[in-house]
C-alpha cells in the first residue's frame, strides 16, 4: 500500500495550474463533480459545517476521484490542524495568518518531526502505508490566507517561512480590513491584491487567490497557480440563463 499522491501539491511543484472547487458540501456532490477534472475540493470548516464527524466521508469521496481534500479550519490551532489531517484531509487552509510566527505555527501543526510538531498518529491517509511517517510530510499541503492588511504589511517576513505551499490572497476580508467592506473592486483593494500576488512570486513562492470567470484569465497571466472558484456563481448564472431562454420563448 502506498500513500495517495497529493494532486494539487504535485501540480504546483511542476509549475502547473491547480484547479480547486469550493461549495460542495457532501460526498454525493463531490462524486457528481468528480468527472470534471479538477484537482482539489475546498471543504469549508471556517464558515461551513465541516468537522471531524463528516471529514471521513468527504475526504473518501475526494480520494475516489484523485482530488486533493483541502480543509479550511476556523483557527490557527496546532491540535485542530493535525486532527483535521488525521481525519483524512490532504491539505489545510488556515485563516488570518498575519505574522511570521503565526505562519510558523501552521507548519508546526501540519508537519511531523523533524519539520514540525504534528502528533504521531497514522491518519486515515496512512492506513496500510508502512513508511507513512517518513513520507507524509511530502504529501501534506499547507496554505495560509493573507486576508488582512496587517498580513500584507508583514508579507515579506511571512514569506520566509518554509514548508508553506500556497500564500492565498483572500479578497473579501482584505477589502474589509482596508475599510472597503463589500467593495472588492475598489482600486486600492485591487492594487493591494495585485501587489501582494507579485511579491509572493518575486519571493519564489506560490500564489493563490479567488479566480472567477471574469478574473481567471487576469490571474493566470499574473502567474497565479492556485485557482479557487465556487460553484455558487456557476449555479446562479446557469439558473439565470435558463430562465432567460425560457422567458424568451414565452414572449
Q: End-to-end CA distance of the chain, in Å?
A: 61
What 8-state DSSP symbol labels residue 137? G
Select which of 47, 96, 117, 163 is catalytic.
47
- Round to whole Å and give the CA distance between 169 and 151: 10
Going by DSSP bridges, is the β-strand pair 40-44/68-72 parallel, antiparallel, or unpaired?
Answer: parallel
Residues 116, 9, 233, CA angle at the centre, nearest 5°?
A: 115
> Which residues, other chains included, contact 81 with Cβ-Cβ below 8 Å and sequence gap of 6+?
73, 92, 94, 106, 109, 110, 118
- Round to whole Å and give the CA distance between 63 and 132: 17
Contact (CB, 8 A) for 169 and 209: yes
- Round to whole Å and give the CA distance between 51 and 60: 14
- Round to whole Å and give the CA distance between 134 and 140: 12
Q: Is 117 a catalytic residue?
A: no
Take residue 189 and report the three cell numbers written for it.
483593494
* Nearest CA-CA partner of 219 in 193, 199, 183: 193
Q: Which residues are catalytic?
A: 47
Amino acid at each position: 500500500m502506498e500513500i495517495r499522491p497529493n494532486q494539487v501539491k504535485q501540480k504546483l511543484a511542476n509549475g502547473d495550474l491547480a484547479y480547486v472547487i469550493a461549495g460542495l458540501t457532501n460526498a454525493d456532490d463531490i462524486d457528481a463533480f468528480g468527472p470534471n477534472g479538477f484537482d482539489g475540493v475546498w471543504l469549508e470548516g471556517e464558515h461551513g459545517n465541516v468537522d471531524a464527524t463528516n471529514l471521513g466521508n468527504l475526504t473518501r469521496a475526494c480520494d475516489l476521484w484523485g482530488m486533493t481534500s483541502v480543509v479550511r479550519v476556523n483557527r490557527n490551532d496546532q491540535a485542530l490542524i493535525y486532527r483535521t489531517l488525521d481525519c483524512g484531509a490532504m491539505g489545510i487552509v488556515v485563516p488570518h495568518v498575519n505574522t511570521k510566527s503565526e505562519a510558523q505555527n501552521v507548519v508546526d501543526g501540519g508537519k511531523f518531526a523533524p519539520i514540525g510538531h504534528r502528533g504521531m498518529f497514522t491518519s486515515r491517509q496512512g492506513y496500510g502505508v508502512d513508511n507513512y511517517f517518513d513520507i507524509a510530510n511530502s504529501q501534506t499541503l499547507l496554505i495560509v490566507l493573507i486576508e488582512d492588511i496587517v498580513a500584507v504589511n508583514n508579507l515579506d517576513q511571512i514569506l520566509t517561512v518554509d514548508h508553506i505551499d500556497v500564500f492565498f490572497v483572500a479578497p473579501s476580508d482584505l477589502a474589509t480590513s482596508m475599510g472597503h467592506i463589500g467593495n472588492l473592486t475598489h482600486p486600492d483593494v485591487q492594487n493591494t491584491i495585485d501587489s501582494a500576488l507579485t511579491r509572493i512570486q518575486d519571493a519564489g513562492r506560490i500564489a493563490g487567490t479567488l479566480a472567477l470567470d471574469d478574473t481567471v484569465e487576469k490571474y493566470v497571466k499574473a502567474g497565479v497557480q492556485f485557482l479557487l472558484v465556487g460553484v455558487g456563481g456557476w449555479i446562479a448564472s446557469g439558473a439565470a440563463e435558463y430562465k432567460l431562454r425560457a422567458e424568451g420563448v414565452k414572449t
